[in-house]
């Protein structure tokens, strides 16, 4: 969530640089400086990299046990020899070695339903990115000035509104970071899709009705859409694939999800100009419908992962698999309420 908030800081910087340098047209600096300024954030990232620790689970997978233990201690802000460090370290070692025994990192593993439910977890992770993009964020994000122009807003004011919306999205993302763990990923996706669908319906209605008052309604719900997206769908699709996949498939699963994001992003951005020019305001109704369709999909197929450690998430899916194999329901409530002895102690910051 913090990474996405910083991402939006870059978006805000870009929007207001564009606005400011628009006042000095016909000179090379008006376009060279905004492009070159991206190096500032890249250099800041490079400077901080030496202090970025490797994942202890990855280190264990590579047999680097002592390094893993020291990083666990850093994450807990606890001495290496402490009981708290030892408990989390042993839990991670046990779970990682168990996954390496049960599952193999092979693309053929996706063709069967293994005990770790690898295929299902990858599909669920990629599905969040699919729904994020077809939820319509880049219909508005890429073409926001066009949307404002269609409402009769001048170029200067449309750029100001775009910059304000970027600020709105950054603030909403920061607010969402404060309660994503208490509210939960699944609930945020459900309520986010509902409100986003309503926003698209009202934006379409405002554009279709025309007139100054209806235009104000449309602009208002563009802002509401951005706020809702920042509170919900901006973060969950990036968080969910990283935490839901097994240790061996975490990188590949997150990679597949990210590929899904950018392929869908490309498709949405490609078809949007054609859709707007062909059917006008009716094009936005499509995204209202899609958001409403995503609600039952999330409700039926997705698991809640909030307040669970990565080991407890693994246990949740293995229990589901065992329950299905035995013809039972594999109720996930039993996993959350009755964790194993090894994971029972994991609380608060230890989930990091």
pLDDT tens digits, 83-105: 889 998 998 888 888 777 765 66
Residue 108 lies inside a defined structural domain of this protein: no
Q: Per-residue confidence at 296, pLDDT binned at 50, 70, 90?
A: very high
- DSSP structural state of residue 26: T
Average pLDDT over residues 98-125: 76
With respect to residue 335, please indicate whether it lies within any of the assigned structural domains.
yes
Please count the structural domains in the chain: 2
Please indicate, yes or no, if residue 230 is contained in any of the structural domains. Answer: yes
Average pLDDT over residues 314-322: 77
Identify the pLDDT of residue 179: 86
310-325 vs 83-102: helix crossing angle, rounded to 10: 40
What confidence tier does 331 reach under pLDDT thresholds 50, 70, 90? very low
CA distance 302 to 121: 9
Residue 258 near residue 130, CB atoms below 8 Å: no
Per-residue pLDDT reduced to its tens digit, 136-175: 998 887 777 666 766 677 778 888 888 888 899 999 999 9
Task: Kindly write down the DSSP assignment for every residue of 156-222, as one continuous string.
Answer: HHHHHHHHHHHHHHHHHHHHHHHHHHHH-HHHHHHHHHHHHHHHHHHHHHHHHH-SHHHHHHHHHHH
pLDDT attached to residue 313: 87
* Residue 139 shares a structural domain with residue 152: yes
The whole-model pTM stands at: 0.77
Work out the number of other CB atoms within 10 angstroms of the CB of residue 3: 11
Q: Which residue has the higher pLDDT, 63 or 128?
A: 128
Mean pLDDT score of the chain: 83
> What is the pLDDT, as a whole number, of residue 337?
41
Q: Phi/psi of residue 149, each to 5°?
A: -65, -35
**pLDDT of amino acid 146:** 67
Model confidence at 349, in pLDDT bands (50, 70, 90)?
A: very low
Q: Are 232 and 169 in contact (CB under 8 A)?
A: no
Last residue within a domain, chosen from 262, 285, 301:
301
Q: Do residue 72 and residue 219 come from a single domain?
A: no
Write out the residue range of the structural domain in which residue 258 sits: 2-21+30-49+113-301
Minimum mean pLDDT range among 131-140, 225-234, 241-250: 241-250
| Domain assignment of residue 181, yes or no | yes
């Amino acid at each position: 969530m913090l990474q996405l908030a910083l991402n939006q800081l870059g978006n805000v910087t870009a929007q207001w640089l564009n606005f400011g340098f628009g006042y000095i047209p016909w000179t090379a600096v008006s376009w060279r400086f905004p492009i070159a300024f991206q190096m500032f954030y890249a250099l800041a990232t490079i400077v901080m990299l030496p202090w970025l620790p490797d994942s202890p689970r990855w280190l264990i997978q590579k047999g680097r046990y002592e390094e893993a233990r020291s990083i666990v201690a850093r994450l807990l802000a606890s001495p290496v020899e402490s009981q708290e460090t030892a408990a989390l370290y042993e839990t991670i070692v046990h779970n990682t070695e168990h996954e390496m025994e049960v599952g193999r990192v092979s693309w053929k593993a996706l063709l069967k339903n293994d005990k770790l439910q690898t295929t299902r977890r990858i599909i669920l992770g990629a599905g969040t990115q699919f729904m994020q993009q077809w939820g319509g964020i880049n219909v508005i994000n890429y073409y926001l000035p066009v949307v404002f122009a269609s409402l009769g807003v001048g170029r200067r004011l449309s750029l100001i509104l775009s910059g304000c919306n970027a600020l709105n999205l950054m603030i909403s993302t920061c607010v969402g970071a404060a309660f994503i763990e208490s509210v939960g990923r699944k609930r945020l996706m459900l309520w986010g899709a509902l409100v986003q669908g309503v926003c698209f319906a009202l934006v379409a209605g405002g554009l279709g009705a025309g007139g100054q008052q209806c235009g104000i309604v449309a602009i208002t719900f563009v802002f509401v859409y951005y706020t809702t997206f920042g509170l919900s769908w901006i973060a969950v699709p990036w968080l969910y694939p990283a935490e839901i996949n097994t240790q061996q498939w975490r990188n590949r699963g997150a990679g597949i999800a990210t590929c899904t994001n950018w392929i869908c992003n490309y498709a949405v951005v490609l078809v949007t100009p054609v859709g707007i020019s062909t059917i006008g305001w009716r094009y936005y109704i499509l995204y209202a419908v899609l958001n409403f369709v995503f609600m039952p999909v999330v409700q039926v197929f997705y698991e809640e992962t909030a307040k669970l450690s990565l080991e407890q998430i693994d246990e949740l899916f293995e229990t589901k698999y065992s329950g299905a194999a035995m013809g039972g329901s594999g109720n996930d409530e039993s996993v959350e309420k009755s964790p194993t002895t090894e994971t029972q102690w994991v609380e608060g910051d230890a989930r990091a």
